[in-house]
Structure 1
Amino acid sequence: MSTDFQQAREALGVRLRELRLTAPGGRLTGPQLARRLAWPHSKIYKLENGRQTATSQDLRAWADAVDQPAAFDELEGRLKGFESHIRSWRRQLAAGHRPVQDSWNLEVSRTRIIRAWEEAVVPGMLQTADYARAIFLRYADLHRSARDTDEAVRSRMQRQGWLYETGRRFHALVWEAALHALVCSPPVLAAQLDRLAGTIGMDTVELGIVPLGASLKIPAANAFWIMDDRLVITEDWHAELWLDDADTVASYARVWHTLQESAVYGVDAQKVIHRARQALNMR
């Protein structure tokens, strides 16, 4: 969890405590407020100490319970401020994967230059429909989310139209491990590798492959995407992070350029993909 996010959550907790202690009818203890809300006392403690993220419903109930309903707008504003950066998968996927893909489509449409690093899968902008379908199904199982797989795939494929627009540039770095990962069936992966090889030479795509045997200046970790040096999108198992402060974006840019030093391009990248394709045929 990011430091900025945790600090914002703790600040919200401090404000909740202030409202409890300044209730118009007299200060409330934690147990008293818990009884009013029919919550376990531990929830009061966790929210006030920044150990749990409140929902909008939690904040409205809190404001009403401390007889300060007008404070709800302020509390919700604080919540939206840091939730815009930390987007939990539980909430994002409540209606399935399609809404998440639509949000990505909107952000990509605003972007001229994208730099991406993927260490485990082929970048979504370069995926085949069958490969994307396999990925969505894996994550739907993991997060126990709605299965709107076909709609999500169509949305992701629609985004790839960006690659054929004048003035766009997609600079992708992929670790060779992603070319071998059987997150789909072997035939689907074979078709995906063929598709990936076919993108080399496109005037809007610069594909770099970091070979498994390459010397690395930093570990090959967390995938991330940089949009026009104004926004970084990365993810963890619990959430997707949208980070837009200048220092953070600059830090990710340094990571990307450092990883790029280990990448191969053009014919050499084709050879790495071909090697993965041959290894797949031998399985």
Structure 2
Amino acid sequence: MSGFQQARIDLGAQLRQLREAAQLSGKDLAARLGWQASKVSRIENARQSATEDDVVVWCQAAQAPSEVVDGLIAQAVSLLERQDSWRQRHKSGLAALQEDIRDLESRTKLFRVFEPGVVIGLLQTAEYARNIFTKVRRLYGASDDIDAAIRVRMRRQDILYDPARRFRFLLPEAVLRYRLAPDDVMRGQLDRLLAVTTLPNVEFGVIPFSAQLPSALLNGFWIYNEAMVGVPTRTKDLVLRDPEDVAFYASAFEDLCEVAVFREGAREVIVRVLVDFAQQSAQ
């Protein structure tokens, strides 16, 4: 078992003890916090990481002593900032990892996302996601819960239709052409992207092959509000909170936006790729 997962188990067990000491059922606690009851279960059973905010409201509901609260907050912050092995994190379950991401997204109002190698998860179709999760399972030895992971990923996408949130997505044209799924799945995924470009709170950009790049497209990154950047690598998931790091990635994002095309320009690139797929399939 990884150190990351053991730390999550320890935190969940301590939170359960607080709930039980306060004579609250999982449903009672969830009702007080305005959560789904399943979230309490996921945290206590180490299928989801409790955030600092989760710990604060949990402890308030359980009337925990301040010294206990401080210690649990420190554990939650440490857990979030861990740079743990992707292989070990995936072994705890694809669906569990998707739940962690969904919880983080629920607290985000402004998303700025650049992905150089894969269609952004919030924009994936179910069948494209299935092909991606199958490759992840093979690469990292993840648990065999692909259907559950897809269901969570699809639920994550509900957030796109919240007008109080703003999304800025950026992909290079190459991502639209990478054969990470069969051609019919890729065509369905491209149709999905065309639909996304019409959402009023979504800014979707494509960096065309013809663009002169401001820098090499080394890795993807997700900027959550103005406070945190997630930088996934092949072996670790980096979580950056230093204001200078956040500002650096925000500046890099704007540089990439300068050479991208949006709205009708983005749709023209997507349609061009769709036509190429159709011609290649016919041949």
TM-score normalised by length of structure 2: 0.70
> Within 5 A, what are the aligned runs for 1:128-277?
128-277=125-274
Question: Equivalents in 2 of 1:204, 1:98: separation in Å?
Answer: 27
Within the alignment, does 1:282 sit opposite 2:279 as a pair? yes
Question: Equivalents in 2 of 1:168, 1:82: separation in Å?
Answer: 26
Deviations 1:77-112 (A, max 9, x none): 89x838724131122112221111100000000000
The answer to whether the Cα contact below 8 Å between 2:207 and 2:260 also exists between their aligned partners in 1 is yes
SS of aligned partner of 2:168: strand
The answer to whether the Cα contact below 8 Å between 1:85 and 1:243 also exists between their aligned partners in 2 is no
Q: Could you tell me which residue of structure 1 aligns to residue 13 of structure 2? A: none
SS of aligned partner of 1:282: helix
The answer to whether the Cα contact below 8 Å between 1:96 and 1:146 also exists between their aligned partners in 2 is yes
Fraction of identical pairs, as percent: 35
Within the alignment, does 1:90 sit opposite 2:74 as a pair? no
Q: How many residues align?
A: 208
Within the alignment, does 1:106 sit opposite 2:77 as a pair? no
Question: Equivalents in 2 of 1:240, 1:85: separation in Å?
Answer: 8
SS of aligned partner of 1:87: coil
Q: Could you tell me which residue of structure 1 aligns to residue 27 of structure 2? A: none
Q: Could you tell me which residue of structure 2 aligns to residue 38 of structure 1? A: none
Task: Single out whichever of 83-92 and 206-215 deviates more from structure 2.
Answer: 83-92
TM-score normalised by length of structure 1: 0.70
Please report the RMSD computed on the Cα atoms of aligned residues, expressed in angstroms: 1.8
Give 1 or 2 for the bigger CA radius of gyration. Answer: 1
The answer to whether the Cα contact below 8 Å between 2:214 and 2:256 also exists between their aligned partners in 1 is yes
Amino acid at match of 1:247: E
Deviations 1:157-193 (A, max 9, x none): 1111111112111100111000000111110000000
